[in-house]
Amino acid sequence: MSDHRILLIENPASLSVDLGRLRIRRDGFDDNFVPPKDIAVLCLHHYTIQISVQALRVLADAGASVLVTDEFHHPCAWLLPQVGNGDLVRRLRQQMALDSSVAKGKLWQAIVQARLSTQAANLRVLNRRGALRLERLAKEVQPADKTKCEGQGAKHYWAYLFDEDFKREKEGAGDAINSRLNFGYAVLRSMVARSLVMAGLNPALGLGHSNMENPFNLADDFIEPYRFVVERHVALGPSGEFDGKARKEILRFVEQEIKLNGAGYRLPAAINESVASFVRVLDGRGEYLQLPQDALLQRNEEYPWE
């Protein structure tokens, strides 16, 4: 299972399998071959792309997820692997037991604290004002976030992260910043959901998110403390038109190194460790979630615009 490769295809192409490899065929170009095990997320970003059922099967067997976008560059469908874990029933029972326990509120408390802490760290790394308020809020979070610190923090954070005229829009956004954020979040969400499924967890049973119509509540929980990676990448990057070049550039957020429990992890490995810590809680082998609490380990020298 790959730890880091995101494959974006946004031109007419035909995808099939040749000798166990994913073959990408485009008119006027030589065929490209990619081992399925090297792919974490395959993003299909053109309406004429053709992919065989065999290719989908091979990708699923390798643990890759497939993300399909619509004409507005928004995700409209996922394919998540269902292999790799034979403990689905036991995990489901554990999640259902957790749903009515006191521990559930404490776990959500930890996630909200991590989200607020990483927001504050982003503001400091980016030389923005407002970090102290978020750091104080992180200390005030109660189990199940009864005082709604997450919502207070979000309102404060977005007021300082970008220009004062910026307004956060989750759906249907046409501006460059929101388009970048939403696209990056979608890929990050797919990575989190993939890690949950591969661990045998049901992504619909969330800790803080509980929308009855959302099949990925748990993914939306665990994406929270990792959103800062996308946000920092967007804040540091170019802000022009959200075209094909920009979509490829935004995917570089996956290369970042995360500080987790005092050690450095590549982003996918950090997500896997956070999910593994949740499994340990379910098994009674741990009490705490391993979550990022501060900014990226260091400023990435690969950013020419910093």
> pTM to 2 decimals?
0.82
Residue 92 and residue 74 share a domain? no
Residue 166 and residue 114 share a domain? yes
**Is residue 294 in a domain?**
no
Q: Pick from 62, 79, 96: which residue ends a domain?
A: 79
Tell me the pLDDT tens digit for each residue of 3-32. 557 888 988 999 999 999 999 999 999 999
Label residue 301 exposed, middle or buried (CB < 10 Å: 0-12, 13-18, 19+): exposed
Sorting pLDDT into bands at 50, 70 and 90, what band is 84? Answer: low
Identity of the residue numbered 256: Q
Tell me the pLDDT tens digit for each residue of 151-181. 999 999 999 999 888 999 887 777 889 999 9
Residue 71 and residue 106 share a domain? no
Residue 57 and residue 106 share a domain? no
Q: Would you state the pLDDT for residue 146?
A: 95
- With 70 as the cut, is the pLDDT of residue 296 above it? no
Tell me the pLDDT tens digit for each residue of 183-195. 999 999 988 988 8
**Is residue 300 in a domain?**
no
Question: Containing domain of residue 124, as a range?
Answer: 88-283
